[in-house]
Structure 1
């Protein structure tokens, strides 16, 4: 990271000083731990890829900041409780009076990958990080900067938590209605508990009047086709392009790559399914997008995509397996089309779809807000850390950002 300060940007140099990272913090290599000792406990074990488990003991008192040291370089994590830093990480042993949250945000702006000293396995040495020259603000300014970024991160976390709860509600309702068969009967009573009639099918006993269908009878399936690489771009030319699950999110993919050649397009709202290992991983298209060979797009013929989505989540609850446990490294269109699915009577599925669509709409809106907040945070982060955006630190005044 380069720090060229231009006095024309109205930077208050009294609040910033030139120093090395080692003068402000001390990094220490993490501690080894055997997999069998990573168990359910109160203290997170944090490696270069994040939390990998929990332990009944901790090595370091929180709050803490951890950097990926081996394998995945430069990942930065903040933890507000006592923790165990794994051997694949570096942890901040001494903050030397600096704000831990500011240190976390500051380290996120550094490109640690360029300091790789490994050969076969990427490795970060703290002795290459400590001497790096940086511009460092006074403590009061650190707190103001971390407060601004922290507010955004808190809202992102809150939205993610709400989305998680909303999906759990939709899945719980799906299970109660279509697995436990306790959907409301015509009198509003739980069907199975109220003596509802069942009949045998090839998938077991199902409520009377329901049917078992092949997916092709109730949904349209389109398999992806990869454009030539010469049409790929990162400047937004064409439509977002997804080859497989690389950019999958919790529910919606992150649109980082685009294609100007539109061979196979999944329409907004389509259920995206990975057709190569891992087979069966699902997302939902949050806009029209080009899909490559690793994905398929599925759409309900009766506009019941929410029911279809949660049905597929149940069928592919274990990735690379479905049905009787048969293992698939890939699936063809024909194999997808012939997957069996239970299809309820219209009254029940329409009633569920009305509720599920409302929930799915809330998840979509919150996900869009998360994307906006992430973009804002990532735009502000380097500007705040370089002093390009000036943050007043007068006592008893509200925090404002002045360009």
Structure 2
């Protein structure tokens, strides 16, 4: 570590009057009848992401209730910790301009810096690092539901360079975070466009309705429009475009499952060669694509799984704990028993099936059963009735949506590369393996 860097605890800052740590309002201070459609935002645990408040809808209270909770109002630069929750505990995020004046939620802990020697943006970056997150998770209390409290937060060690270097690092890491955010916002837009196209063509049947009314389908060239029929017919799914068939989804796609080789037998896991996924790999992904897996199998381990290595492009649907995670595999991989996987080669391609599964998720979940946890089996999944459009229409959709997803995949790869760089630079800076100019150069190269 550089001689200019010092390590101390948040509690030491508190004792010197350079910081405060407090809980959010007690749960008894906020009730369901307090919430309104427009008012002062209340930041709940689920809005606390790694380093930033997420762009999700949050509860709001009226001005009278907000006035009564004035001591919990948030200032620019405040840092919120998720106090409890199996997945959330240990996450922290800084309050930016979007939520200045909002209220701290009941499931959060508030850290407010009052020291000229600590830059809040640097500290927020430090607290969002993997090392800080693991420290908090390790020290949380409660075996079933981990919890943090103010004493745990005060015990957290932090490492500080000089204030000017803190500010430089905050700007550097802020630039990386801004690029990651922009890439993922772009991806959300690309995904929404593909989802809207699927709904228009295969749920609302907009092109067919337009032709039935003697209109040209909106936003569609003549060659594509000719592929759609101009009338409807009755089916077990109701009125559907004439000539399109209804059949069990198991007749339109291959649906396979997986397994878990004996985890106590190292021969199945070493050397780690073949990607192997569980639904946990999908729990935190920012886009519906899986670029890598947490664990990998040896050749012997792969041989223990009947479905073997599934090809790139396979759609993964988590079938239990919970049901409904979806992603398109971007690596060849094997799966555990918590999936129904749909590889390429069926009448309906995996990208089409991604949106079909979303559209039919309530039906899928409705066919699940189980005493310990709900699970949808392949046997229960395969009979679900599905509409089969003409092959030509399916191909056009796959081409248009595929171009959008090609961009999405490249964006997500870049976002993950930048996130990895961000997460590796800080510990190397703290340990003295890297100096600030070297870190800045590495970031500039990645952003170029």
**What range is the shorter-chain TM-score in?**
0.7 to 0.9
Write out aligned runs for 1:312-331 (5 A): 312-316=357-361, 320-321=365-366, 329-331=374-376
Per the TM alignment, residue 141 of structure 1 is displaced from its structure 2 partner at its CA by 0.6
Matched, 1:337 2:353: no
RMSD: 3.3
242, 245, 253: which one pairs with 1:208?
Answer: 242
Per the TM alignment, residue 381 of structure 1 is displaced from its structure 2 partner at its CA by 2.2
334, 338, 348: which one pairs with 2:393?
Answer: 348
How many residues were matched structurally? 383
Matched, 1:63 2:100: no
Per the TM alignment, residue 198 of structure 1 is displaced from its structure 2 partner at its CA by 0.8
TM-score normalised to structure 1 length? 0.83
Structure that is richer in strand per residue:
1
Conserved? CA contact 2:74–2:104, under 8 Å: yes
285, 293, 296: which one pairs with 1:255?
Answer: 293
Conserved? CA contact 1:90–1:126, under 8 Å: yes
Per the TM alignment, residue 46 of structure 1 is displaced from its structure 2 partner at its CA by 3.3
DSSP-derived class of the 2:73 partner: coil
Matched, 1:91 2:110: yes
Query: How far apart, CA to CA, are the structure 1 residues paired with 2:297 and 2:151?
Result: 42
Write out aligned runs for 1:351-390 (5 A): 351-390=396-435
Query: How far apart, CA to CA, are the structure 1 residues paired with 2:140 and 2:187?
Result: 37
Matched, 1:283 2:283: no
Conserved? CA contact 2:282–2:326, under 8 Å: no
Query: How far apart, CA to CA, are the structure 2 residues paired with 1:269 and 1:205?
Result: 32
Per the TM alignment, residue 327 of structure 1 is displaced from its structure 2 partner at its CA by 7.0
Query: How far apart, CA to CA, are the structure 1 residues paired with 2:256 and 2:168?
Result: 51
Query: How far apart, CA to CA, are the structure 2 residues paired with 1:319 and 1:84?
Result: 38
Matched, 1:157 2:204: no
Write out aligned runs for 1:98-247 (5 A): 98-108=118-128, 109-110=131-132, 111-118=135-142, 121-130=145-154, 134-183=158-207, 189-190=216-217, 196-230=230-264, 237-245=272-280, 247=282
Structure that is richer in helix per residue:
2
Query: How far apart, CA to CA, are the structure 1 residues paired with 2:384 and 2:141?
Result: 49
For 1:175-205, what per-residue CA distance to the aligned partner results, in whole angstroms no more than 9, with x for missing partners? 111112123769992279x992111111111
TM-score normalised to structure 2 length? 0.75
Unaligned runs of 5+ in 2: 49-53, 67-71, 218-224, 444-448
Conserved? CA contact 1:274–1:282, under 8 Å: yes
Query: How far apart, CA to CA, are the structure 2 residues paired with 1:314 and 1:206?
Result: 16
Conserved? CA contact 2:21–2:110, under 8 Å: yes
Q: Which deviates more from structure 2 when the two are superposed, residues 140-149 or residues 130-139?
A: 130-139
DSSP-derived class of the 1:220 partner: coil
Unaligned runs of 5+ in 1: 6-10
Query: How far apart, CA to CA, are the structure 1 residues paired with 2:425 and 2:46?
Result: 25
Per the TM alignment, residue 103 of structure 1 is displaced from its structure 2 partner at its CA by 0.9
Conserved? CA contact 1:218–1:301, under 8 Å: yes
Conserved? CA contact 2:83–2:107, under 8 Å: yes
